Amino acid sequence: MNRINPDGQNNIASMRKAAQACAHRHLFHMMPPQGWTNDPNGFVYYSGSYHLFYQHNPYAAQFGIIHWGHAKSADLVRWEPLPVALAPDQPYDAGGCFSGSSVVHNGKLYVFYTGNDKDSIQTQCLAISEDGLHFQKYENNPVIAAPPEAVKPTQFRDPCVFRRGERFYMVVGAENKGCRGQVIVYISDDLLNWSYLNTITAGDDTLGYMWECPNLFFQDDRAVLILSPQGITGYPQFNSSHDSGYFVGHFDEATGAFTHGGFHKLDPGFDFYAPQIAANIPDRSVITAWMSTWETPAPTSAHHWAGSMILPREVRVKGDRLLFAPVREIEKYLKPVIAVGAVSGGELPPLEAAAGRLRVSAENKDFTIRLFCSADGREYTEISYSADICAINLDLSHSGEAARGTRSVTLEYAPDILDIYLDRSSVEVFINGGEYVMTARVFPHQGSSGIRILGEAVFQNVSLWGFAVHP
């Protein structure tokens, strides 16, 4: 069940050749070999490797008839493309194999996904693999053929399956007929037969009309529900019709009820959507996400590819908030370039291949860091700190192709350390030990790789690492 249309093979080969030659291709982020990518799916550790599936149109660099693309990694940093895992070849998924998740059970990999039929009716489906490469769709699909009566059958998708004790749970994103977002909770003893358990709602429409891509994960005695709501109106910090956030609370395994505190934004940058927590990693929680939104420009489509994923992040619950850190495996790929102290302004050496990490610590005064700078100074991506309002700003208005505006986040206290990861066409800014992360795709012209520091602040430390493809 992982075949794609053979008539498209020649076209795929030429698309792939053009995509691989694109200067915006990443070195340490997962991206498709060609074609379109959006949501991450089925993120799991299985049989000695990390597997990441993703929404994929292999035939064009735009959304279309969606397959499940597939990649694997030994370390969450370097990714190997694999053959398409799921193709829309059944009546119940003829309109696309939409997002879902994975669970490991009895040595097999179970992947759950939404089948979107030709009339956009959405059902929850299953495919099973014994080797992590070849998948057989379940003969009795769909495993959930219809939502509860109150839910729109065209807005019922993105199953996240997890185990608690001896039972399995599934949470599915939904829009009810009153145009309010919900999460529907199901329960199963065998992953094949599912029963409705409960519905999680916000109680009003301020959190949008549709809750996409729910994820429920656990640390210690806390449960975290991650959502990507559409149509948020009551939360001014959410500045997109497609955004992502989370609740921290408690999940009642007997009733499926979820009690929680406030809703928090996951990433105050530009490009972060449909996050997913990896399954079957026992010692840490690792999250990935589509490094884009539906509003993100995609100039790489001219080179026959579009979309990529964030650098996976380790997640820690602290009170009612989440803290983030790049996966520890990235460290072995970073090679020192320069480390200086008491810097108040100037220019750093350009990064080789415009990929690596910049770490800075500064006093509590205004400062500006310009990345991907052109030689004439007209093109750059700017990170600045406004001391009077304790805010970090990410400005893409001079960042090259498809330049955009500015996003800001107000901090509780002055920035201590900024860790900035660059990868040819991406910027990820970790602030104060991961209390906030700001993510953006940028598309600098070739040769724009300089780094400059401006402003009043004295930087106690500035350290720069390049990225080594072979550590």
DSSP states of 135-199: -EE-TT--SB-S--TTEEEEEEEEEEEEEETTEEEEEEEEEETTS-EEEEEEEESSSSS-EEEEE
CA atoms within 13 A on the CB side of 141: 24
**Integer angstrom CA distances of residue 426 from 43, 209, 449:** 21, 30, 12
Residues 431 and 241: their CA atoms lie apart, in Å, by 25
Query: Nearest Cα to 182, choosing from 162, 143, 155, 161?
Result: 155
CA distances from residue 60 to 178, 272, 304, 441 in whole angstroms, order as listed: 36, 22, 7, 20
Q: Report which DSSP code applies to 17.
A: H
DSSP state of 108: E
Which sequence positions are flagged as catalytic? 39
Output b/e per residue, 222-239; b: 16+ Cβ within 10 A: bbbbbbbbbbbeebeebe
The whole-number pLDDT of residue 237 equals 83
- Beta bridge partners of residue 80, listed in sequence order: 72
d(CA 124, CA 145): 7
Please give the Cα distance from 211 to 243 (Å, whole number): 10
229: enclosing H helix or E strand:
strand 222-230
Beta strands 305-306 and 35-46 are parallel
CA 190 and chain centroid, separation? 29
As given in the structure block, the two tokens for residue 339 are: 């480390």
HSE-CB at 197 with a 13 A cutoff on CA atoms is: 23
The CA distance from 3 to 90, in Å, is 12
Closest CA to 268 of 234, 241, 242, 239: 239
Q: What is the pLDDT along the chain (471 residues), one digit of tens a residue?
A: 455 665 566 799 999 999 999 999 999 999 999 999 999 999 999 999 999 999 999 999 999 999 999 999 999 999 999 999 999 999 999 999 999 999 999 999 999 999 999 999 999 999 999 999 999 999 999 999 999 999 999 999 999 999 999 999 999 999 999 999 999 999 999 999 999 999 998 767 789 999 999 999 999 999 999 999 999 887 888 866 789 999 999 999 999 999 999 999 999 999 999 999 999 999 999 999 999 999 999 999 999 999 999 999 999 999 999 999 999 999 999 999 999 888 888 877 777 779 999 999 999 999 999 999 999 999 999 999 999 999 999 999 999 999 999 999 999 999 999 999 999 999 999 999 999 999 999 999 999 999 999 888 999 999 999 999 887
Whole-number Å distance between alpha carbons of 66 and 98: 7
Q: What is the pLDDT at residue 350?
A: 79
From residue 193, how far is each of 104, 167, 190 by CA, in Å? Answer: 17, 12, 6
pTM beyond 0.95, yes or no: yes
